[in-house]
Amino acid sequence: MALFENLSQKINHVFSKLRNKRGLTELELKEAMREVRLALLEADVNYIVAKDFVKRVTDKAIGTDILRGLDSSQQVIKLVNEELIELMGSKISKLTIADRPPSVYMICGLQGSGKTTMCGKLAKLLSKDHKKVLLVACDIYRPAAIKQLQVVGEKARVEVFERGQIDPIKIATAAIEHAKDNNFDIVIIDTAGRLHIDATLMEELKSLKKRIQPNEILLVVDSMLGQDSVNVAHKFNEDLDVTGIILTKLDGDTRGGAALSIKAVTGKPIKYIGVGEKMEDIEPFHPDRMASRILGMGDVLTLIEKAQDAISEEEANKLAQKLKTQSFDLEDYLAQLESIKKMGGMKGMLNMIPGISGKIREEDLDEKAIEKTKAIILSMTVEERHNPDIIKSSRRKRIAKGSGTTVQDVNKLLNQFEQMKIMMKRMKSGKFKLPF
């Protein structure tokens, strides 16, 4: 399920009934906003937050000449977009950097929130900016927590500092000294979690905060818990005065209420979101981009950033040259399929494109077809990938058997690839015409 898919569909349905109207009555506006409020509540947005949100939009629309304008519905959507951005924090909230390295980030959260994994994801993300990152194992109570952080650190390709199950404050203090002595830029401390908030946990975290004076206290929250996650954030913030929130599992069957409520309830910004299980599946939180996704307006900037991460400039130039010289082959096609996977799959990409976002159904896209195509190409020899024309009957049977598909599947792929080459040739010659 795409991020905020249900909420996006419901809000877009509300506004589809207003489009092309020459002006709106106050009654029509209030009815539409009542439906928006219900959509927000169904998405598990805090009741008071949803109520205040709708009131602000309604008051602003009624207090202007918007309702009498020819593009009144678009103006109302613009207001909703602006209020959504304001609700989620107005602008991106970046991490605080220490005047003198290392910057120390204390990561907190309940067990099961994805806290330890998020430490690794954050470390990997920050490492991309050529920062030397140290992970610190201060969760000494949960069985295998230290080992889990070591595994995560290995995946993120960063060093993990651990001293076994001794006092977490001593571990953190020693880790910071180690970071200073070895020129680390960032220290990420994985603190202890609990199944539920308790006084012992909070006292330990408060003592740790007082001793190490972190630049950031980041709270990892499971967005699938809905309003419970907001309550958890409120309690942690009361006791620790956190500096930011990291929302995990936003790729799951979540209604999105936490993302829309947590800033209003705690006053603290969402800094990052987890959007998948892989180490790369972490994004800085952009309120404006998220509002665009909710309103079905796409998210082109994030799509471009994902493309830049998936495809290097050298690879892009190489691909452009191949297309120009018509030497694009099945080896290149396979590379592009891998890039699509890195960017979140076809549906993830299409849902970021304006006009398409929120309109793609699961049945319209068969992500398994991409895996089948990859299996077929991987069953070919290098020579066959470079020169598909040599793939005759006996080779097609071998490829089908090797990929666990049928000869018809192999034929279909080769025919599609041939059609694509013909289209590229026409585009290069200027003879290609759009079918409308």
List, as one string, the DSSP characters of 43-62: TT--HHHHHHHHHHHHHHHH
Q: Sheet holding 103-108: strands in order across?
A: 159-161, 133-137, 186-190, 103-108, 216-222, 244-248, 270-274, 282-284
For 135, phi and psi rounded to 5 degrees? -95, 140
Token pair for residue 358? 């929120």
Place of tokens 């209420």: 257
CA-CA distance, 243 to 267, in Å (whole number)? 10
Displacement of CA 307 from its chain's centroid (Å) = 14
CA-CA distance, 255 to 253, in Å (whole number)? 7
DSSP labels, 23-41 = S--HHHHHHHHHHHHHHHH
- Residue 173: CB partners within 8 Å, gap ≥ 6? 211, 212
Q: What is the pLDDT along the chain (436 residues), one digit of tens a residue?
A: 455 677 777 887 887 777 666 667 788 888 888 998 998 888 888 888 889 999 998 888 886 666 565 566 777 888 888 888 888 888 888 899 999 999 999 999 888 888 999 999 999 999 988 899 999 999 988 878 899 999 999 999 999 999 988 899 999 999 999 999 999 999 999 998 877 777 888 888 999 999 999 999 999 988 777 777 788 888 889 889 999 999 888 765 556 677 788 888 888 999 998 888 888 888 898 888 888 777 765 444 455 555 555 556 666 666 666 656 667 788 877 877 777 666 665 555 555 544 444 454 554 455 677 788 889 989 999 899 888 889 999 999 999 999 999 999 999 888 888 877 776 666 555 544 433 3
pLDDT given at position 256: 67
One-letter amino acid of 340 = I
Q: 146: burial class by Cβ within 10 Å (0-12, 13-18, 19+)? A: buried
Q: Are the C-beta atoms of 39 and 14 separated by less than 8 Å?
A: yes
CB count within 10 Å of CB 185 equals: 18
One-letter amino acid of 104 = V
CA-CA distance, 315 to 320, in Å (whole number)? 9
Token pair for residue 34? 């009542």
Q: How far apart, in Å, do the first and last CA atoms of the chain sit?
A: 32
CA-CA distance, 136 to 145, in Å (whole number)? 11
- Residue 186: CB partners within 8 Å, gap ≥ 6? 101, 102, 103, 104, 105, 123, 126, 131, 132, 133, 134
pLDDT given at position 66: 61
Cis peptide before 102 (omega within 30 of 0): yes
CA-CA distance, 14 to 213, in Å (whole number)? 48
Q: Are the C-beta atoms of 87 and 263 separated by less than 8 Å?
A: yes
Domains, the chain, in order of start with CATH, read 5-87 (1.20.120.140), 103-296 (3.40.50.300), 304-429 (1.10.260.30)
CA-CA distance, 403 to 418, in Å (whole number)? 20
Nearest in space to 44 (alpha carbons), one of 263, 190, 171, 226: 226
pLDDT given at position 434: 39
